[in-house]
Amino acid sequence: MLYIGIDLGTSAVKLLLIDEKGNILKTVSKKYPLYISNSSWSEQKPEDWYLKTIEGIKDLVSNCKKEDICGISFGGQMHGLVTLDEKDNIIRPAILWNDGRSTQETDYLNTTIGKEKISQYTANIAFTGFTAPKILWMKKNEPKKFSKISKIMLPKDYLAYKLSGNHCTDYSDASGTLLLDVKNKCWSKEMLKICDITEEQLPKIYESYDIVGILKKEIAKELNLSPKVKIIAGAGDNAAAAVGTGTVGEGMCNISLGTSGTIFISRKTFEVDKNNALHSFAHADGYYHLMGCMLSAASSNKWWMDEILKTNEYSNEQMKIKKLGENNVFYLPYLMGERSPHNDPRARATFTGMTMNTTREDMIQAVLEGVTFGLRDSLEVAKSLGMKIQRTKICGGGAKSHLWKKILSNIMNLKLDIIENEEGPSYGAAILAAVGCGEFSSVEETKNIIKIIDTVNPNKELVNKYEEKYQKFHQIYPEMKNLFKIIT
């Protein structure tokens, strides 16, 4: 039997085909545009997502036995606001996870309503990336469009809706809306009232491995697939990526170096840190997870290499970096503000410590180290909860860099397990499709198909050097915080 995983990313949709043993048979990627009309806005057209997904499925299944395809599931960028009217027309472009326009609405939720109450309702506090502040922004700034809303959904769920006709979401993705009572796994009546929306406008919530419908007949005909193909709910990109790396069950850890960066810790029990520095979300395995999320991880490196140095020779540039733990240049990776653990949309990227002796290599190294130091900030919060994390899996585009993996292992002081198939959310989504179709008895069982092929071990001497550097990095943001309020 064959299963399709669809990862709706920020720059492209990635599709992946696996067999019943989890072997990857084919991958396809289709790009679509991102619209940034000013420094803090980030939008996409859901129509582009759907058209490219259909193109991608056609390419993906072109050389396989189409009758063997049993299920389709999804991973996708979280928090985006997709709105439809009563005729299923898209009301406006989707407002994405990295959009920063809702600063005032976020402040209103955290200050006027209060962080304590928001956390009580949802287990989290407001971030500009979350969906609820976007809804409040739309109500205030686009009241006519707001009044037309019949359905509210998340990006990947728009694809599920188009393929199945079912208005649905899953608990992991819904956790990032700031509309879900995460602990009790239901929509928060208090948050719906605050946002002036009804439960009827929101999708029905499923576990990530649940069947939400079957492929529409007309779409099955277009794709030359069986109309019995099951559509499985899927998960937010980080939860899907965690499934794809075997980060399920109790106490497992995964670090993602994608456009955004995350540290993801799976838990079988619900937990919230006292300052809400980490997100407390439902997981795709039916339980929970804690997650620290930074907005500009591999995208920091991409920005520095592509836009500033004007080169695509990433590997060649990194090969020149030799003196780890000795760099005196520090980079704050806040190109689009920051979420975990600072929750500061006004934060900006900075370089500190340059001298006349600073080299090109020092600056490149500072970017890689700065992103990793930023992720360690979230790791320290997890440690404060008593978690003893000794090793982690890794995924995302940045994980292809041998140098970055070495830096990460030593800054975090963690053993870094390298898996055979690092395909991120698309692989996890395909696995969820297999679980939903009965190929596996549970999501947790699927971790047995994830193969570890190598481990990067921290070096004690380098760990000590980076510990000294991290303690310095850790002091820079607090000193800069008030300045960010002035310059942004």
What pLDDT, on a 0 to 100 scale, did the predictor assign at position 450? Answer: 94
Q: Which residues are annotated as a binding site?
A: 78-79
**Quick check: 39 pLDDT over 80?**
no
| Interval 41-66 mean pLDDT | 96
**Quick check: 275 pLDDT over 90?**
no
* pLDDT per position as a tens digit, 376-420: 999 999 999 888 899 999 988 899 999 999 999 999 999 999 999
Q: Which two tokens stand for residue 327?
A: 């760099």
| Interval 235-256 mean pLDDT | 93
Catalytic residues, by residue number, are 237
CB atoms within 10 A of CB 405: 19
Task: Indicate the average pLDDT of the chain.
Answer: 95
What pLDDT, on a 0 to 100 scale, did the predictor assign at position 460? Answer: 97
Query: Which H, E and C letters describe 74-108, residue by residue?
Result: EEECCCCEEEECCCCCECCCEECCCCCCCHHHHHH
Rounded Cα distance, 246 and 419, in Å: 9
- pLDDT range class, residue 37, cuts 50, 70, 90: confident
Q: Which residues are annotated as a binding site for substrate?
A: 78-79
| Interval 263-285 mean pLDDT | 93
* pLDDT per position as a tens digit, 297-355: 999 999 999 999 999 999 999 999 999 999 999 999 999 889 899 988 889 999 999 99
What is the percent of the chain where pLDDT is above 90?
88
Model pTM score: 0.90
What pLDDT, on a 0 to 100 scale, did the predictor assign at position 386? Answer: 87
What pLDDT, on a 0 to 100 scale, did the predictor assign at position 40? Answer: 81
What pLDDT, on a 0 to 100 scale, did the predictor assign at position 423? Answer: 85
Q: Which domains does the chain have, with CATH numbers?
A: 2-238 (3.30.420.40), 249-421+458-488 (3.30.420.40)
* pLDDT per position as a tens digit, 183-208: 999 999 999 999 999 999 999 999 99
> What distance, in Å, lies between the first and last C-alpha atoms of the chain?
53
Query: Residue 63 phi/psi, 5° resolution?
Result: -120, 20
Rg of the chain in Å (alpha carbons): 22
Which residues, other chains included, contact 144 with Cβ-Cβ below 8 Å and sequence gap of 6+? Answer: none
What pLDDT, on a 0 to 100 scale, did the predictor assign at position 336? Answer: 86
Output b/e per residue, 93-129; b: 16+ Cβ within 10 A: bbbbbbbbbbbebbebbbeeeebebbbebbbbbbbbb
* pLDDT per position as a tens digit, 119-165: 999 999 998 889 999 999 999 999 999 999 999 999 999 999 999 99
Helix intervals (H) in 108-236: 115-122, 131-141, 143-147, 155-164, 171-174, 189-195, 217-223
Rounded Cα distance, 21 and 1, in Å: 9
| Interval 71-98 mean pLDDT | 96
**Quick check: 28 pLDDT over 90?**
yes
